[in-house]
Structure 1
Amino acid sequence: MIDFWLAAGLLLLVALSFLLIPVLRSRRAQLEEDRTALNVALYQERVAELQVQQQEGVLDAAQMDAGRAEAARELLADTEGVAAPRVTRLGKVAPLLAAILVPVLGLGLYLHFGASDKVELTREFAQAPQSMEEMTRRLERAVAAQPDSAEALYFLGRTYMTQDRPADAAKVFERTVNLAGRQPELLGQWAQAQYFADGKKWSDKVQALTDEALKADPKEVTSLGLLGIAAFEGQRYQEAIDYWNRLLEQLPPDDQSRIALQGGITRASEKLVASGGKVAQAPAVKPAALLKVRVDLAADLKAKVQPGDSVFIFARATSGPPAPLAAKRLTVADLPATVELGDGDAMMPQLKLSNFPEVQLVARISRAGQPTAGEWIGRSQPLASSTTAPQELTIDSPDK
């Protein structure tokens, strides 16, 4: 903040100069007026002496006029260049009082309406925190400075959860939902914080929050995990297994939490068997499809295209909706290129490669950047969506 206050101080000095310079100028004008008055008094004294000498017969009329003219010339010479006296009604006290009040009022107004706290927070967040406590203090100050920031509230709530402060987190997540809307992820976070704040006791409030979250998004991970925990604590082991299996399907293969989640499923299964129950077989999960394709341009077309032309590579069902199941976008300059098309590239959640047994690969060049129409195209023969062997696709035909 030092550089900020130095800049503010410099601007304050500039402002004060507009007040103090007129005061200094008035003092200089006063000195000039005093000197002019002294010169006039000397002139009048010289004229009086000449009149006395004339009366005593020392000077005749001609000499009297010459002496008077000489005194007048000296007076004019001494007062030449002196500006006319200025009339001011401010006096000396008002400008000096204003010079004192300007910085005081300026500082007070800035501290009340300004953003010094936000400037300081910006500088702090530019540096890595030394501890979780320091990060928490920064987030708390950020929320105080920007109470309408849903993002700051969300991160503060997550931080409270890592510090085992679920009651504080629940209040923060409730504020976040009120600001950002009833998004599934926020509802799940609020429900989880409320559950732990209530001492791991399931309540109608928590049930309503998880129901609303999963209704909007059946794959909302926090709600699935929380329902699994609540079912396990309530000795409803099959429900816990089902919820956790659904959560397991949403996690990436390399997610570290899969190990802990699988361990929870195993413990729930053991307890279910020990209580005389039988673990229901989970429905088989269809493996995710992933097609690898190398796209190139026919030799006779290389002179007819431009490096910046768009290249759309997609897979579509041979029997099904015409919309692409997965798509990637490149430019002619990128060719030849190898891309992967899989369930993660789905244009819509319900239209995945793995949901259709047979697909066709298409690559289209469009100078206008339109994926549905272009100048040149290449198509593959129909192939199974479960194909793992790399495919070759050449753009070689006019797009009709």
Structure 2
Amino acid sequence: MIDFWLAAGLLLLVALSFLLIPVLRSRRAQLEEDRTALNVALYQERVAELQVQQQEGVLDAAQMDAGRAEAARELLADTEGVAAPRVTRLGKAAPLLAAILVPVLGLGLYLHFGASDKVELTREFAQAPQSMEQMTRRLERAVAAQPDSAEALYFLGRTYMTQDRPADAAKIFERTVNLAGRQPELLGQWAQAQYFADGKKWSDKVQALTDEALKADPKEVTSLGLLGIAAFEGQRYQEAIDYWNRLLEQLPPDDQSRIALQGGITRASEKLVASGGKVAQAPAAKPAALLKVRVDLAADLKAKVQPGDSVFIFARATSGPPAPLAAKRLTVADLPATVELGDGDAMMPQLKLSNFPEVQLVARISRAGQPTAGEWIGRSQPLASSTTAPQQVTIDSPDK
């Protein structure tokens, strides 16, 4: 903040100069006016002396006129170059008063309406925190400075959960939902915080939050995990197994939490068997989709492309989100080439090839390296995502 206040001080000096320079100029003009008045008084005194000398007979009429003319020339010489007196209605105190009030008023307005706290926060966040407590304090200050920032509230709520402060987290997530809307992920986070804040006691409020979250998104991971925990604590082991299996399907293969989740499913299964129950077999998962596609370039385009041009090969749902389900990147120099597109290449875990019955294969050449726009393109006919036969895509058309 030091550099900020230095810059503010320099700007203040510039502003004061516009107020103080006229005051100094007025003082100089006052001195010139006082000197002119003195010269006029001396002229009048000289003329009076000449008149007395004429009355006493010392000077005749011609000498009287010569003396008066000489005094007038001296007066003219002394006052030559003096500007005409300026008339002001502000008075001498007004500029000085303004010079004092302007910086005081400006500082007061800045401290009230300004954003010095946000500037300081920006500087702090540019440096890595030294501890979790320091990060928490920064987030609390960010929320205080920007109470309408849903993002700041969300991160503060997550931080409270890592510090085992679920009651504080529940209040923060409630504010986040009020600001950002009733998004499934936020509802799940709120329900989880509320559950632990209530001492791991299931309540109608928590049930309503998880129901709303899963109704909007049946794959909302926090709600699935929370319902599994609640079912396990309530000795409803089969429900816990079902919820956790659904959650397991949403996690990436390399997610570290899969080990702990699988351990929970194993413990629930053991307790269910120990109580005389039988673990219901989970429905068979859909086989992973894997499409093989050979990409080539039309003969009439080979002279128009460059070896370093990017080639994007992707599959997208014929009826569904426009985002690619799986993608690979090559260059023109690699063509012709055969690639595989499968669930492991999914751009997002919830958008897998196997989740959509019909897809289309697309290959695009982009000289600028942009996957969404290029110069030439090739498309396949719609095909089932379970197709195992190799497919052919030829890039042969302008990309419009």
State the Cα distance separating 1:9 from its structure 2 match.
1.5
Q: Could you say if the C-alpha distance between residues 115 and 361 of structure 1 is closer, same or farther in structure 2, counting changes exceeding 3 Å?
A: closer
Q: Partners in 2 of 1:32 and 1:162 — Cα distance?
A: 77
Between stretches 118-127 and 154-163, larger displacement belongs to 118-127
Q: Partners in 2 of 1:168 and 1:254 — Cα distance?
A: 32
Segments of 5+ residues of structure 1 without an aligned counterpart are: none
Q: Could you say if the C-alpha distance between residues 336 and 94 of structure 1 is closer, same or farther in structure 2, counting changes exceeding 3 Å?
A: farther
Deviations 1:314-348 (A, max 9, x none): 44899999999756788869966776533477799
Q: Kindly report the root-mean-square deviation, in angstroms, between the aligned alpha carbons of the 2 structures.
A: 4.3
Q: Partners in 2 of 1:352 and 1:103 — Cα distance?
A: 63
Q: Partners in 1 of 2:153 and 2:239 — Cα distance?
A: 33
Q: Could you say if the C-alpha distance between residues 173 and 93 of structure 1 is closer, same or farther in structure 2, counting changes exceeding 3 Å?
A: same
Between stretches 338-347 and 232-241, larger displacement belongs to 338-347
Q: Could you say if the C-alpha distance between residues 39 and 338 of structure 1 is closer, same or farther in structure 2, counting changes exceeding 3 Å?
A: farther
Q: Could you say if the C-alpha distance between residues 323 and 253 of structure 1 is closer, same or farther in structure 2, counting changes exceeding 3 Å?
A: closer
Q: Could you say if the C-alpha distance between residues 238 and 171 of structure 1 is closer, same or farther in structure 2, counting changes exceeding 3 Å?
A: same
State the Cα distance separating 1:283 from its structure 2 match.
1.9
Q: Could you say if the C-alpha distance between residues 303 and 126 of structure 1 is closer, same or farther in structure 2, counting changes exceeding 3 Å?
A: same
State the Cα distance separating 1:197 from its structure 2 match.
0.3
Q: Partners in 1 of 2:58 and 2:368 — Cα distance?
A: 113
Q: Partners in 2 of 1:210 and 1:370 — Cα distance?
A: 40
State the Cα distance separating 1:71 from its structure 2 match.
1.2
State the Cα distance separating 1:61 from its structure 2 match.
2.1
Q: Could you say if the C-alpha distance between residues 6 and 250 of structure 1 is closer, same or farther in structure 2, counting changes exceeding 3 Å?
A: same
State the Cα distance separating 1:89 from its structure 2 match.
3.0
Identical pairs, percent? 99
Deviations 1:107-130 (A, max 9, x none): 111111111111111111111111
Q: Could you say if the C-alpha distance between residues 13 and 59 of structure 1 is closer, same or farther in structure 2, counting changes exceeding 3 Å?
A: same
Q: Partners in 2 of 1:12 and 1:316 — Cα distance?
A: 61
Q: Partners in 2 of 1:152 and 1:32 — Cα distance?
A: 65
Q: Partners in 1 of 2:61 and 2:322 — Cα distance?
A: 125
State the Cα distance separating 1:232 from its structure 2 match.
0.8
Q: Could you say if the C-alpha distance between residues 308 and 61 of structure 1 is closer, same or farther in structure 2, counting changes exceeding 3 Å?
A: farther
Q: Could you say if the C-alpha distance between residues 310 and 131 of structure 1 is closer, same or farther in structure 2, counting changes exceeding 3 Å?
A: closer
Q: Could you say if the C-alpha distance between residues 347 and 206 of structure 1 is closer, same or farther in structure 2, counting changes exceeding 3 Å?
A: same
Q: Secondary structure at the match of 1:143?
A: helix
State the Cα distance separating 1:253 from its structure 2 match.
0.6
What is the aligned partner in structure 1 of residue 229 from structure 2? 229
State the Cα distance separating 1:132 from its structure 2 match.
0.9
State the Cα distance separating 1:159 from its structure 2 match.
0.6
State the Cα distance separating 1:150 from its structure 2 match.
0.8
Q: Could you say if the C-alpha distance between residues 304 and 359 of structure 1 is closer, same or farther in structure 2, counting changes exceeding 3 Å?
A: same
**2:251–2:349 contact (8 Å) kept in structure 1:** no
Between stretches 243-252 and 311-320, larger displacement belongs to 311-320
Q: Could you say if the C-alpha distance between residues 172 and 366 of structure 1 is closer, same or farther in structure 2, counting changes exceeding 3 Å?
A: closer
Deviations 1:18-69 (A, max 9, x none): 2222221221111111111111121122222222333333333222222211
**2:290–2:342 contact (8 Å) kept in structure 1:** yes
Between stretches 277-286 and 108-117, larger displacement belongs to 277-286
- State whether structure 2 residue 186 is matched by structure 1 residue 186: yes
TM-score by length of 1: 0.85
Q: Could you say if the C-alpha distance between residues 367 and 156 of structure 1 is closer, same or farther in structure 2, counting changes exceeding 3 Å?
A: closer
Q: Partners in 2 of 1:70 and 1:317 — Cα distance?
A: 109
**2:250–2:350 contact (8 Å) kept in structure 1:** no
What is the aligned partner in structure 1 of residue 79 from structure 2? 79
The residue correspondences of 1:196-345 to structure 2 (distance < 5 A) are: 196-291=196-291, 293=293, 295-304=295-304, 313-315=313-315, 340-343=340-343
Between stretches 74-83 and 297-306, larger displacement belongs to 297-306
Q: Could you say if the C-alpha distance between residues 102 and 41 of structure 1 is closer, same or farther in structure 2, counting changes exceeding 3 Å?
A: same
What is the aligned partner in structure 2 of residue 151 from structure 1? 151
Q: Could you say if the C-alpha distance between residues 374 and 190 of structure 1 is closer, same or farther in structure 2, counting changes exceeding 3 Å?
A: closer
Between stretches 386-395 and 111-120, larger displacement belongs to 386-395
Q: Could you say if the C-alpha distance between residues 295 and 202 of structure 1 is closer, same or farther in structure 2, counting changes exceeding 3 Å?
A: same
Q: Partners in 2 of 1:122 and 1:229 — Cα distance?
A: 39
State the Cα distance separating 1:275 from its structure 2 match.
1.5
Q: Partners in 1 of 2:130 and 2:109 — Cα distance?
A: 34
Q: Could you say if the C-alpha distance between residues 90 and 245 of structure 1 is closer, same or farther in structure 2, counting changes exceeding 3 Å?
A: same
Q: Could you say if the C-alpha distance between residues 387 and 239 of structure 1 is closer, same or farther in structure 2, counting changes exceeding 3 Å?
A: same
Q: Could you say if the C-alpha distance between residues 314 and 18 of structure 1 is closer, same or farther in structure 2, counting changes exceeding 3 Å?
A: closer
What is the aligned partner in structure 1 of residue 41 from structure 2? 41
Segments of 5+ residues of structure 2 without an aligned counterpart are: none
Q: Partners in 2 of 1:319 and 1:68 — Cα distance?
A: 112
Deviations 1:257-280 (A, max 9, x none): 111111111111111122222211
Q: Could you say if the C-alpha distance between residues 210 and 390 of structure 1 is closer, same or farther in structure 2, counting changes exceeding 3 Å?
A: same
Between stretches 84-93 and 235-244, larger displacement belongs to 84-93
Q: Secondary structure at the match of 1:296?
A: strand
State the Cα distance separating 1:238 from its structure 2 match.
1.1
Q: Secondary structure at the match of 2:242?
A: helix
Deviations 1:268-314 (A, max 9, x none): 11111222222112222224324454534244421256899996644
Q: Partners in 1 of 2:368 and 2:157 — Cα distance?
A: 46
TM-score by length of 2: 0.85
